[in-house]
Amino acid sequence: MKTRSAEPEGAPGATKPLGAGFYVRPVLDVAADLIGCTVVHGTTAGVIVETEAYHQQEPACHAYVGLTPRTSTLFGAPGVAYVYRSYGIHALLNAVCEPEGVGAAVLIRALRPLEGVELMRERRGGAGRGAERELCSGPGRLTQALGIELTENGSSLESGPVLIMPREGPAPQIVSSARIGITKAAELPWRFSVAGEENVSKPWPRRGEQPRGLRRGRPSRSG
């Protein structure tokens, strides 16, 4: 019998960061529930508008190869930042999920800039002067804009330096679609984004993808 996962921590208007109890749940639940939450780093912040879920049972996840020095953070305690270098260029921010010993994480793919926009522009080399959506519309862009580096790998998302604050207000309309920028398990609808949000990274989800189903709960053995 499939049991219902625990409710996410934090009520609308809460001022403290999300705790480990939020992240210990199935990664698909966390990926959807992080939409509308806020990432804070120093004097910069942005609202999460796009995420992707990754789980050790599917080959696009780094944890698929098992426990290694690189993946040890993924198999560690929930509520920790997993930050890694992509293609030797960008640091990507992930939130480790599920119980310790399970390799799963949510990639933070895009933010709506909220605080410190001028500093974000400076860090991004002047990007976003015409359109703010250029600042954080992609996982590499948002870490550059917020100044998140590899040194944050393994740090707590509750005590910082990178913090994730609870969603304020009602849940936005969420679209689920296939993950992008990968070649393995690319068909899984494990990308979650705010419907119609201009800050979502391209390619934007197509209209009509949402009814494919928000596959929540624990991934099956078949992925």
In order, the DSSP letters of 188-211 are S--EEEETT-TTSPSSPPPTT-GG
pLDDT score recorded for residue 219: 57
Contact between residue 5 and residue 25 where contact means Cβ atoms under 8 Å apart = yes
User: How distant, in Å, are the alpha carbons of 2, 5, 6, 29, 49 from that of 210?
Assistant: 23, 22, 24, 16, 15
**Residues 134-144 as b or e (16 or more Cβ within 10 Å = b):** bbbbbbbbbbb
pLDDT score recorded for residue 33: 97
pLDDT score recorded for residue 211: 36
Domain ranges in the chain?
20-212
pLDDT score recorded for residue 218: 54
Mean pLDDT of all residues in 25-46: 97
Tens of pLDDT, residue by residue over 158-198, are 999 999 999 998 889 999 999 998 889 988 999 999 999 99
Whole-number Å distance between alpha carbons of 205 and 223: 21
Using the predicted structure, report yes or no on whether residue 46 has a pLDDT greater than 60.
yes
Tens of pLDDT, residue by residue over 206-223, are 654 543 334 455 554 333
pLDDT score recorded for residue 171: 86
CATH architecture of 20-212: Roll (3.10)
Q: Closest Cα partner for 180 from 27, 47, 52?
A: 52
Categorize the per-residue pLDDT at 148 as very low, low, confident or very high, splitting at 50, 70 and 90: very high
